[in-house]
Amino acid sequence: MIQKIIDFLIFFYTSKSKYRIHSPFVYQLIVNGLEVKLKEFKSTFKSAENFRQKLQLNNQLINIVDLGANGIKKKKQYTLKISEIAKKQAKPLYQIKTLIKLALYFKPQLIIEFGTSLGITSYHLASATAIPIITIEGNAETAQLASKYLSNFMHVTVINNSFDEWISNEIHQLSDNVLIFIDGNHQFNATIKYYDFFAQKATKNTILVFDDIYWNDEMKKAWQVIVEKNTNTVTIDLFYFGLVFFNLPTPKQHFKIFNTNLWE
């Protein structure tokens, strides 16, 4: 926790506001995307947060099987209450709002989420937009529950598979206009592998969003490697998310941005 506070303070004092951004692409993203207020979605958020609260009160136990590197199942298995998962693993609302803002601003043809968990993020996204969503969850019982919870959204598909296997099977069929949210497997090798997979397919309409880029030393190192790769054009550090853009008509640039409208 202390290290996370130190990381945030360093980020805060080295980040820029929109007034110090000279990239038209990034400035427009901030003004017309990240800082947009979502007042029209107030009732949508209330409904989705009620769903979250119900899960936080659900003490049903489910079986968890860890997926290690390359999606290989470890022998370690354990049980968790649904309430524990909903409280500790689900994204907070302000982060989910950022994803919604990105989806509304860029209007991708498809959203892919790696790390469904109980489906809280997908529930919010599906409530706020009609964009098709594919969400992948490695744990069978969690995926089964998420599929049930999201069954009313016809534009959401829940898939129970390891990230590696799904990517290997589906990457060649992906639309080039896609927002990909990677929330899971916070290891250096896995993160770089996922980046390289999608970078080879990426176009100017591809957006990669990496979750928890300050989660641990491996994620911080992975994010720094991604920032330095020549296969992308613009990278943006929001502290909680790392955004990656490709093939833009601009010199390679990196930004640290503190979103002043974060908790609107």
- Here the CATH number for the domain that contains residue 135 is 3.40.50.150
pLDDT given at position 238: 96
Q: Which two tokens stand for residue 98?
A: 């950022």
Structural contact between residues 100 and 93, judged by C-beta atoms closer than 8 angstroms: no
CB neighbours of 20 closer than 8 A, spacing ≥ 6? none
Lowest mean pLDDT among 82-91, 188-197, 254-263: 254-263
Domain span holding position 121: 2-48+91-256
In a domain, 8, yes or no: yes
In a domain, 73, yes or no: no
Q: How many CA atoms lie within 13 A of 97 on its CB side?
A: 21
Q: How many CB atoms lie within 10 A of CB 165?
A: 13
Residue 160 has pLDDT above 70, yes or no: yes
Q: List pLDDT tens digits, range 99-132.
A: 999 999 999 999 999 999 999 999 999 999 999 9
Q: List pLDDT tens digits, range 66-90.
A: 765 444 445 578 899 999 999 988 9
- Residues 34, 35, 41, 44, Cα dihedral to 10°: 50
Q: Which two tokens stand for residue 52?
A: 């979250």
Q: How many domains does the chain have?
A: 1
Characterise 189 by phi-psi region: left (phi > 0), alpha (psi -120 to 50), beta (else). alpha
In a domain, 132, yes or no: yes
Using 50, 70 and 90 to split pLDDT, how confident is the model at 92?
very high
What DSSP designation does 16 have?
B
In a domain, 40, yes or no: yes
